[in-house]
Chains A and B, each alone.
Chain A
């Protein structure tokens, strides 16, 4: 399980979220219920930026076509089968790391 650095805790300010590309992944990192979570930032509809707008009422709204996703688990309110992938997150000091590849079970 290799974790890669996606950013730093200060990147979450001032909006409580940020997104960044790393190794072919666009990842949305955000504060949620006292912790830090990460979802794919690539909307499964047409590929738009899920985290363009600041999260409101526990949801992200993709800029391009307004698809909504729950911050809790990445599930899609508009199309139940199109949940965003969740990334495992580790915080080491000021660094936020995510796991891009998960070992198959």
Chain B
């Protein structure tokens, strides 16, 4: 047997806890990543582990496929994930999280897959494929994480919103500077029947207006 290996590193302008929340928020898979994922279902979940199924179209493969995934958060610095695909292939992923300064973290992803020795020559393709997939989803998660961190610092509370917006009052001075740490709380609260029936994207195509316009000069 041989192991195909790839490693990808990327910095992020938010605490690592936001990134961890993002990875454990399974419902966003058919929201933020609606162009790739048709459906997701959590088969079992508890505290720091989750077993799920996803129906996905990878960008370099022209058809949909089902993958099963088991992931667990070993510590605030390490998440391990196993994608089980066809023919018994298992993609093992180690996600390393490291704070590297004020509101900044480093995400390092190691990918491994065991194949018959004769297929070792596929490693360059494996590196290219895993890197391309990493950035396809990273580029969609990046603005999500930044925005989550921004609204969090403004006082956002889940299933509530921001107080001064809801109450139509003035924003408290210095609200963004208040020391409001972001906790790791798993499992992430659910708003759908993702555990019972799964969660399917409402549409596969959209006219995207996008995130906000630049500030007024």
Contact = CB atoms under 8 A, between A and B. Distances in A.
Contacts of B192: 65
B6 to A, nearest CB: 28
B146 to A, nearest CB: 11
B212 A63 contact: no
Given A47-B156, A53-B208, A66-B31, A40 B161 contact: yes
Contacts of A101: 168-170
Contacts of B191: 45, 65, 67, 78-79
Interface string A83-105: 00100000000000000111010
B147 A47 contact: yes
Interface in A29-75: 40-42, 44-49, 51-54, 61-67
B38 interface: no
Main secondary structure of the interface of B (DSSP, over half): loop
B213 A19 contact: yes
B151 interface: yes
Bin the interface of chain A by size: 35 or more
B208 A24 contact: no
Main secondary structure of the interface of A (DSSP, over half): loop
Contacts of B203: 61
Contact of A46 (B148, B168, B175): B148
Contacts of B30: 66
B158 A45 contact: yes
22 contacts: A5-B216, A11-B213, A18-B209, A18-B212, A20-B215, A20-B216, A22-B215, A23-B171, A24-B154, A24-B165, A24-B171, A25-B165, A26-B212, A44-B159, A45-B159, A47-B148, A49-B147, A61-B202, A63-B32, A65-B27, A85-B166, A85-B168
